Amino acid sequence: MTKDDIIRMAREAGFFCDADWITYGLPGFERFAALVAAHEREACAKVCDEVGSRDSDSHAWDAAAAIRARGEK
């Protein structure tokens, strides 16, 4: 997720994003966005883990690993 993505979404959510906000508020929003993204990735990966456990489907486990890997850079 880029800074432009975060600013666009903040504006869509109704935040006033002036130059001061971008300078002082954006770093906090970037950290928040990263935490939300990590939480959502893990939630999706857990669903894949559950499907894999029920169906012995290695593709579901592969998908879980791929989802988790998206957060590693």
In terms of pTM, does the model score above 0.85?
A: no
Provide the H-helix boundaries in the chain: 3-12, 19-20, 26-55, 58-69
Q: Residue 37, Cβ neighbours under 10 Å: how many?
A: 13
Instruction: Tell me which residue of 32, 38, 40, 36 sits closest to 15, measured CA to CA.
Output: 32
Instruction: Give pLDDT tens digits for 12-58.
Output: 999 888 888 888 889 998 999 999 999 999 999 999 998 887 777 68
The domain segmentation of the chain, as residue ranges, is 3-69
Tokens describing residue 26: 């954006």
Tokens describing residue 35: 């935490």
